[in-house]
């Protein structure tokens, strides 16, 4: 019995010790961060949740008499202190933090429309009061007003200016026969799964200084050791559909990234949708960079890279690709193909072959590369009783493939492997982003594509995607980028 009594006394003694608060004004809290910064967020869109830890590194407990947001109920920020959500005035009282213990503070922010076309700086602070002494953790964010579209259909010719970005939920649709014009500097941000449907024609005329941007809406980073930006991830949003067979589309100085499919363009064997694409890039798509069926495309000085299925997937029609880089080093898992270029003149649909004549597919001064042994796949119909057109031509291209012989292939560089001294691009891996940086499909100084382009063809495109002179060092390089 006396042992039970002794144990009870011991427990009570420990409890008393637990309540032994220090009132020494020099005994302070410690924090895992003194400033919590949020990347740019869109007005009215909640931010991701960020956290910091509060430590009591003292030998006695501390009584935190209050935790509050400096701007009180006028704050754009929201806090949760170790599971406790404060009332609207953002003020919590009497929190006990035991000796050598810690707690979490969770922070979010949602900013109202600021009626501004420029970034707005938002700041506040979490204030901790202990023994009549205040300590604070600063909170900062940048907010950008946006024009929001949610399941919106536009039924007239429309021009988007670059005054504010556009945020698209679910879809934005341009009605049949109508034209959407994007001025230089326009930014289209897409929520998860959101699509752009062009039922008429798209004219996106960016410039080198003010390119047009289409990407996912998450402007912040993943919570991983590499601090990977969401912008690098495929499948962040849907696709751009150019699905009117009479469409006439122009895309210049446009960057498309993180989509499911970058561009899906389709027409018919009678009327083929047309696309002029120049000085642009499509990168990190979950499926295809460009999927074209019965389309007429002219693609110049353009990079299409890192797609889970195919960078450029041609099914019938006419295609001209000049000084382009099709590079597939996709590392995010998913589809098995992960190819640079496929060309097909048929499509298996409901167990029968649909003929899609390839009237012409001409590639000049292009790079077709990636991790596969053969990055160029040609799918020629051999089963139809009627003749099916398959006209292709490759001239002065670098092709990651075993050699293909014939009059359709002239003056090309074939390679199924690259030796250690035959590098092609500056960086084809993100195994360690912090060390190696991100993908870079400009040419390595020792690239096998240097000085190998057809000069006659290059004369018509004497500057590269970044406006560097292709003839500055005497001979032009293969691909979208001139080494400099």
- DSSP for 72-83, written as a single string: GGG-SEEEEETT
262 vs 189: CA distance, rounded Å: 14
Residue 6 is assigned to a structural domain of this protein: no
* Tens digit of each residue's pLDDT (9 = 90 or more) over 240-255: 999 999 999 999 999 9
3-class secondary-structure state, position 10: helix
Pull the structure tokens for residue 231: 């912008």
224 vs 139: CA distance, rounded Å: 21
Q: What is the reported pLDDT for 5?
A: 39
CATH number for the domain harbouring residue 272: 2.160.20
98 and 211 co-located in one domain? no
Q: What is the reported pLDDT for 9?
A: 39
CB atoms within 10 A of CB 307: 35
Residue 336 is assigned to a structural domain of this protein: yes
199 and 53 co-located in one domain? no
Q: What is the reported pLDDT for 6?
A: 40
CB atoms within 10 A of CB 406: 8
271 and 187 co-located in one domain? yes
Residue 468 is assigned to a structural domain of this protein: no
pLDDT < 50 positions in the chain? 1-18
Q: What is the reported pLDDT for 350?
A: 67
310 and 456 co-located in one domain? yes
Residue 471 is assigned to a structural domain of this protein: no
Residue 279 is assigned to a structural domain of this protein: yes
Quote the number of domains for the chain: 2
* Tens digit of each residue's pLDDT (9 = 90 or more) over 234-290: 999 999 999 999 999 999 999 999 999 999 999 887 889 999 999 999 999 999 999
Record the pTM. Answer: 0.90
Q: What element of type H or E holds 68?
A: strand 62-69
165 and 274 co-located in one domain? yes
Residue 313 is assigned to a structural domain of this protein: yes
Its domain, for residue 446, covers 146-461
Q: Which of 346, 343, 344, 349 is nearest to 385 (CA)?
A: 346
Q: What is the reported pLDDT for 19?
A: 59
135 and 152 co-located in one domain? no
The DSSP symbol for 462 reads -
Distances (CA, A) of 409 to 300, 314, 326, 378, 392: 20, 18, 17, 13, 9
Phi/psi of residue 15, nearest 5 degrees: -65, -40
Indicate the average pLDDT of the chain. Answer: 91
381 vs 402: CA distance, rounded Å: 21
Pull the structure tokens for residue 5: 């009594």
Q: What is the reported pLDDT for 416?
A: 73
Q: What is the reported pLDDT for 4?
A: 43
Q: Which of 434, 39, 63 is nearest to 218 (CA)?
A: 39
The DSSP symbol for 90 reads -
93 and 152 co-located in one domain? no
């Amino acid at each position: 019995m006396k042992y039970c009594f002794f144990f009870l006394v011991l427990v009570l003694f420990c409890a008393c010790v637990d309540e032994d608060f220090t009132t020494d004004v020099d005994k302070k809290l410690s924090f895992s961060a003194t400033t919590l910064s949020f990347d740019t967020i869109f007005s009215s869109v909640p931010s991701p949740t960020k956290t910091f830890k509060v430590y009591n590194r003292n030998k006695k407990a501390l009584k935190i008499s209050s935790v509050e947001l400096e701007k009180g109920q006028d704050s754009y920020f929201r806090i949760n202190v170790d599971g406790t959500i404060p009332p609207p005035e953002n003020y919590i009282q009497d929190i006990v933090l035991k000796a050598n213990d810690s707690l979490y503070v969770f922070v979010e922010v949602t900013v109202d429309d600021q009626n501004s076309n420029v970034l707005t700086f938002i700041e506040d602070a979490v204030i901790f009061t202990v023994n009549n002494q205040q300590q604070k953790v600063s909170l900062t964010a940048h907010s950008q007003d946006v024009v929001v579209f949610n399941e919106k259909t536009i039924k007239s010719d429309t021009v988007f200016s670059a005054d504010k970005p556009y945020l698209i939920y679910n879809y934005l649709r341009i009605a049949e026969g109508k034209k959407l014009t994007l001025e230089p500097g326009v930014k289209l941000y897409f929520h998860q799964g959101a699509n752009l449907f062009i039922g008429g024609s798209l004219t996106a005329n960016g410039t080198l200084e003010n390119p047009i941007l289409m990407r996912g809406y998450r402007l912040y980073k993943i919570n991983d050791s590499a601090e990977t930006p969401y912008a690098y991830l495929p499948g962040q949003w849907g696709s751009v559909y150019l699905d009117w067979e009479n469409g006439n589309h122009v895309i210049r100085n446009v960057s498309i990234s993180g989509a499911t499919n970058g561009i899906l363009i389709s027409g018919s064997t009678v009327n083929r949708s047309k696309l002029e694409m120049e000085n642009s890039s499509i990168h990190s798509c979950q499926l295809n960079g460009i999927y074209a069926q019965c389309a007429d495309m002219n693609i110049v000085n353009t990079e299409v890279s890192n797609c889970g299925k195919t960078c450029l997937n041609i099914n019938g029609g006419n295609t001209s690709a000049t000084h382009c880089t099709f590079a597939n080093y996709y590392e995010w898992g998913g589809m098995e193909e992960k190819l640079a270029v496929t060309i097909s003149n048929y499509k298996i649909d409901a167990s029968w072959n649909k003929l899609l004549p390839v009237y012409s597919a001409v590639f000049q001064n292009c790079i077709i590369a990636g991790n596969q042994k053969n990055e160029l796949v040609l799918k020629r119909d051999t089963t139809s009783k009627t003749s099916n057109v398959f006209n292709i031509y490759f001239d002065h291209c670098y092709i990651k493939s075993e050699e293909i012989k014939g009059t359709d292939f002239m003056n090309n560089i074939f390679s199924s492997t690259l030796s250690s001294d035959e590098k092609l691009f500056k960086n084809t891996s993100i195994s360690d982003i912090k060390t190696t940086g991100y993908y870079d499909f400009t040419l390595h100084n020792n690239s096998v594509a240097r000085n190998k382009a057809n000069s006659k063809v290059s004369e018509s495109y004497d500057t590269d995607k970044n406006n560097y002179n292709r003839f500055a060092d005497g001979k032009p390089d293969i691909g979208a980028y001139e080494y400099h």
